[in-house]
Amino acid sequence: MPLKYTAEITVSLPRDQVVAIFEDPEQASHWMEGLQAMNPISGEPGAVGSVTELDFLMGKRRMVMKETITANDLPETFSCRYDADGVRNFIDNRFVVVSENETRWEMDNVFEFAGFMMKVMGTLMPFMFKKQTMTYAQNFKAWAEDGKSVTQKS
C-alpha cells in the first residue's frame, strides 16, 4: 500500500524567485543535504521525460536515485518520479502565490515500496519520509530567504 501525504512551506519571496531557485541545478546542493552530484542521463535537463541520476551521501551511506521529469508547467507546477533501491517516489509540486512577496510550495508525495524491509519501513515509520520532505523544504526556505546553505557547517 503506498504512502501518501502532502507537505507545504511558505517562502517569503515572489513566486518567480522561488521557482528560479527550485529549477536551478547549481543551487540544489545548498538545500538538498547530502547531494554530491547530479548527472544528466537523457533528455534536456528539466524537460518532460528527461532523466538525471542523483548521488547522495547520507551519513556514511551512499544512495543513488534516478529523477524522471513527468510534467513541467512552471511556474505553477512541476512533477517528477524518483527511483531508488526498494522505493519509488512521485512528487507533484505546486507554487502558489500567497502575496506579492510570499509563495507557498505544496508537495503531494506518493511512495511505493518494493521488498519486505522497505514495505515495513513505509508502514511502520511513515514519519521518517515526511520528516525528510520537510527537512528539504525548510532547507530550501533557509537558502532562498537567507542564503543559509546546508554545505556550511555551523
Question: Rounded to an integer, what distance in angstroms lies between the CA atom of residue 146 and that of residue 120?
Answer: 38
CATH of the domain spanning 3-32+74-144, picked from 3.30.530.20, 2.40.110.10, 3.30.420.40, 2.40.170.20: 3.30.530.20
List, for residues 36-54, the tens digit of each pLDDT value.
Answer: 999 999 999 999 999 999 9
| Single-letter residue type at 70 | T
The whole-angstrom separation of Cα 146 and Cα 60 is: 29
Q: So where are the chain's domains?
A: 3-32+74-144
Q: What is the pLDDT of residues 113-147, one digit of tens each?
A: 887 666 666 666 667 889 999 999 999 999 999 99
> Bridge partners of 6?
108
Listed in sequence order, the DSSP H helices in the chain are 15-22, 116-124, 126-146
pTM (global) more than 0.85: yes
